[in-house]
Structure 1
Amino acid sequence: MKPYALITGATSGIGLSLATIHASRKGNLIIIGQNSRKLSEVKKELETQFKIKVVAFSVDLTKPDSVKKIVTRVREQNLSVKYVINNAGFGLYGLFRDTDIERELKMIDLNVKVVTELSKAFLPDMIAEGRGHIMNVASVASFIPGPLMSVYYATKNYVLAFSEAINNELKGTGVSVTALCPGPTETNFTKTARGEKAKMLSRNLMSAEEVAVIGYEGMLKKKAIVIPGFKNKLLAFLPRLLPRSNVVSIVRNVAEKLSDEEKPTKE
């Protein structure tokens, strides 16, 4: 049985790029997304172009029991999952006292709960087979606190710490966990997080394709942490160079400049 890579948020941005890379290497896919039309389009395109098998599940991952439904369908179809790529996520900009708590709880569900559940769900089978890769898409935000995106930064801190810890636990099993920590990337996510007016930011963005290639290769090499781009590496190590209070102030100053006074937008 040829194994599958399960990828969440696979219809655009980094997720779609990762799916395309895996398909180009003749790997089968389970793609997860909320938009059934986009899923169908991606499924058809990848199957036609690369002659591989693509299974598409339309699921709202912020809903209770969404992961259980995915796991049930995977088991029912007797699909062997060798790769789990937790890519789906969103951010929310604004002062914590002003932002919508319901949206923040959805963010926590997607960025933290789903990552944890999907990692747990397929790990036992990977260990039993002595092979497998989990890649959790974190962020350079994982290394620092983030005023004006406080909950988002906190969720990504979790993803990095969680990934590093279980990667250590899995030594000797043949299974690895990689935290992919991109900086701001040219995807639909940037529109979600801070609207259309962040022109200063957009000039220096890495493309989703660039991030995906670096992340995918890092995953195959079983790297614990992958930070695409020299500038992003510098940003990730900034807390080691400066007092933490200074770092927080710098992050807020940058966020205020890049926001262009945008209000929080819908995901």
Structure 2
Amino acid sequence: MATTLITGSSSGIGWELAKCFASGGDDVVLVARSEDKLQELAEQIRNEQGVAATVIPADLSRSENVDQLCRSMKERSIAVDTLVNNAGFGALGRFAELSVDRQTDMLMLNIVALTRLTRLLIPDMIHRKRGGVLNVGSIAAYQAGPNMSVYYASKAYVLSFTEGLREELAGTGLHVTCLEPGPTQSSFGEDSGMGKLDMFSSSTMSAAAVAKAGYKGYLADDDIVIPGWKNRLMVTSVGFLPRIATRKIVGKLQSV
């Protein structure tokens, strides 16, 4: 029996990814700040899929909590086969006006926690020669994002890190995939402030559809999964435009 750990699994894409892996027969470890929501999901998974669902509430924007999460799993004799780094958040606003603490927390969660957790768990995966990592990025990775500069930069890191790690682990038997969704029906829009933008509200995919695409892509050992033809078209189009043009376009679309 394989075990999959999903961060940020209390809602949205993380919630749906947990259901995908459970439906495939994996035991799941559910991690997020909201214990009540995690318990709700765990009960649903146990009842519907008949697999084990372990709840570990944690705020992963603190490095010490990443380490504590790993210690907690070791104490429970849980060996993680697949790590799904889904936890993350964004914030719409000018860099000089957004809270410095909020932007620092964003980097800690979107980049540092993802990197640290991967580093702590992947040696055992390599030793067992199975499993891997599914990182949830964003199509924001493909261009600069004025008025969300830190968020876009953090997702560029996730894409680059995933591609580099995949190449390092070639031949080990591990899967390393980056899921790059566009606007998605989840709490992200409201939490980040992007939900009020036309570019977000007019072309969202369901979290279930995004998760299903990511799950299938991971099983197929795809390197990058961009769900939805509109999102794929957007990413392709970016490649034909000068970077100065794309950042000006995005800046206008995200004007605050």
Give the TM-score taking structure 1 as reference length: 0.93
1:190 maps to: 189
Structure 2 matches for 1:99-248, cutoff 5 A? 99-194=98-193, 197-198=196-197, 201-248=200-247
Q: Contact (CA 8 Å) 2:138, 2:155: kept in 1 or not? A: yes
* Residues 131-189 of structure 1, C-alpha deviations (whole Å, 9 max, x = no match): 11201100000111000000000000000000000100000000121111000101001
Q: Secondary structure at the match of 1:85?
A: strand
SS of the residue 2:16 aligns to: helix
Change (3 A) 1:243 1:197: closer
What's the % identity of the aligned pairs? 38
CA pair 195-144 structure 1, distance change in 2 beyond 3 A? closer
- Quote the offset at 1:98 in angstroms: 0.9
* 1:112 alignment partner AA: I
How many residues are treated as equivalent by the alignment?
256
Indicate the larger mover: 20-29 or 135-144: 20-29
How far apart are the structure 1 equivalents of 2:198 and 2:243? 28
Alpha-carbon shift at residue 63 of structure 1 (Å): 2.1
Unaligned runs of 5+ residues in structure 1 are 262-267
Unpaired runs of 5+ residues, structure 2, are none
Question: Could you tell me which residue of structure 1 aligns to residue 18 of structure 2?
Answer: 19
Corresponding position of 2:53: 54
Residue 242 to residue 37, structure 1, CA distance change in 2 (3 Å):
same
Q: CA deviation at 1:3?
A: 2.1
Following superposition, the deviation at residue 61 of structure 1 comes to: 0.9
- Alpha-carbon deviation of 1:27? 1.2
Matched residue, 2:44: 45
SS of 1:84's partner is: strand
* CA distance in structure 2 between the aligned counterparts of 1:162 and 1:43, rounded to whole angstroms: 30
- Partner of 2:196, secondary structure, is coil
- Go from structure 1 to structure 2 and tell me whether the alpha carbon gap of 1:172 and 1:188 turns closer, same or farther (over 3 Å shift): same
Q: Distance in 2 between matches of 1:178 and 1:195?
A: 26
CA distances 1:1-49 after superposition (whole Å, capped 9, x unpaired): x221000011110000001111112210000010111111111111111
SS of aligned partner of 2:59 = coil
1:229-260 alpha-carbon deviations (Å, 9 max, x no partner): 1111122223320111011111111112xxxx
Maintained 8 Å contact 2:142/2:156 = yes
Find the counterpart in structure 2 of residue 84 from structure 1: 83
Q: Does the 8 Å CA contact 1:133/1:220 hold for their aligned counterparts? A: no
Tell whether the 8 Å contact from 2:92 to 2:194 is kept in structure 1 after alignment: no
Task: State whether residues 146 and 250 of structure 2, in contact with CA within 8 Å, keep that contact through their aligned partners in structure 1.
Answer: yes
Stretch of structure 1 that moved more, 200-209 or 125-134: 200-209
**In the alignment, is residue 6 of structure 1 matched against residue 5 of structure 2?**
yes
The CA deviation string for residues 78-124 of structure 1, in whole angstroms up to 9 with x for no partner, is 11211100001000111111111110000000000011011111111
Per the alignment, in what secondary structure is the counterpart of residue 79 of structure 1?
A: coil
Determine helix, strand or coil for the equivalent of 2:4: strand
